[in-house]
Amino acid sequence: MKRTESSLSRRQVVELGSLAAAAAALPGVGRTRPDAAPLALPPDQQHFALAETTVAELQDGMQSGKLTSRSITQTYLDRIRATNLESPTLRAVLETNPDALDIADRLDAERKQGTVRGPLHGIPVIVKDNIDTHDKLLTCAGSLALLGNYALKDAGLVERLRAAGAVIPAKANLSEWANFRSTRSSSGWSGRGRQCRNPYVLDRNPSGSSSGSAASASANLCAGAVGTETDGSITSPSNACGIVGLKPTVGLVSRAGVIPISHSQDTAGPMCRTVADVAALLAGMTGVDPRDEATAAAQGHIEADYTKFLDPNGLTGMRIGVRPRNGRIPGADALVGQGLGELRPGQGGRGVGAPRSRWRGRGKRTRSRPPSAAPSRAAVNEGGPNLGDGDQRYREANHRRRQGFPVRPLAGGTRVAPCGAPFRPAATSTRSAASTRWWWRRASGTASRWRRCTWAGAPHRCYRRHP
């Protein structure tokens, strides 16, 4: 499989895209800082031989004799030493496997004898530190409390990766205990590995909890990596590091030998630089495992090769919404525009839809919307082409509130506030309108939040999210 040539590389997109995202969140990030230089590599790593190389390209190189599993593994190990512990100290990898080159030699010998196990034969794959490996690598979930813990048996997915011919050269850093340790934690920090860093914005974390797996794949420390997810621990760091991450359906990949959090949500998944690599790695991980009863439901739904579902024309006819650029990073807007140009007709896409406001529902804001995405006060008051239905309702409700519209009476003494929330007026209250707006009560053992609405001089309690 040949790589499609493009004038815009993944690295360029993520490098400036990460800076733009950081600028949107923190004013002033756009200023040049010495410690925020994207992947400032030592001279011997500036022109990395395997940069952005795909699994298929590595297999083609080994098939032609230009590459061997040993040379590939050695190259990645050198890369890890140059970028992980030395400048720029990504701290994406906790430790390397001293037997990795011996394993690669055995796989090269099998290839010479005519045995190729599959697309992962001889391919280095880094796994997260909460996944058991029965070798000289520790399994600690990033915690110093488990330092010295050597697994007695491979995790189910590691058994399958080894059977598929993968080389496991290292363990990846993570948010300690997969971030199941504190409500005030930093993604990518562990007592064992310290703070993992985003390869493109070194003074930002790479999200988590599969932080090291994402950073390793993004910074070309391996051909692919394995992460785990309960809720966002694969997809979020993949997004932050500009790679492809997949959380499979629970049961498709065995969880046996993976330090758990939730039996109904936990699963491991592939994290790679391309969709094709994710498909190849997924095929080497799936399978029914008697040690994980959830995999029984996957019987009959497991494919030996997921790459056959890849469609080079999969984006044809797609409309993609794009968030308006903020212009805080020089060159970022031009780069985004160049990328959008490659998605337009002639490049596999029908076109890119006009930017849409990210407000949804009946005047409610989505919880995931960052403050910088909110329409301006002028836009809300006056309306405009980028205001959706939710924004229009928000504008109307805001107008009614400013005009002091009285509440409308309904049958049974129930009224409707300008926000549209039905309520019964509070009988008497010792609280003034200027007092706290949030009331709490305890019901069925859980805390429910009441909002006190004081519009039109009629205090009431309701669950609505008011404009």
The catalytic residue positions are: 128, 209, 233
Going through 20-172 in order, the beta strands assigned E by DSSP cover: 93-96, 125-128, 170-172
Burial of 325 (0-12, 13-18, 19+ CB in 10 A): middle
Residue 81 per-residue DSSP state? I
Task: Report d(CA 234, CA 247) in Å as an integer.
Answer: 6
Sign of the Cα pseudo-torsion (149, 153, 156, 161, in order): positive
Name the β-bridge partners of 190: 194
Task: Report d(CA 50, CA 63) in Å as an integer.
Answer: 16
Q: 90-107 burial, b for 16+ CB within 10 Å, e for fewer?
A: bbbbbbbbeebbebbeeb
On whether the CB atoms of residues 194 and 142 are closer than 8 A, the answer is no
In what helix (H) or strand (E) does residue 448 lie, and over which residues does it extend? strand 446-453
- Sheet containing 438-443: give its strands across: 438-443, 446-453, 460-462
Q: What are phi and psi of 343, to 5 degrees?
A: -95, -10
DSSP per-residue string spanning 431-445: S-TTS-SEEEEEETT
Q: What are phi and psi of 440, to 5 degrees?
A: -125, 150
Tokens of 154: 């491979």
Q: What are the distances in angstroms from CA 24 to CA 200, 325, 333, 439?
A: 16, 9, 13, 33
Tokens of 407: 């509440």
Contacts of 429 (CB under 8 A, 6+ apart): 459
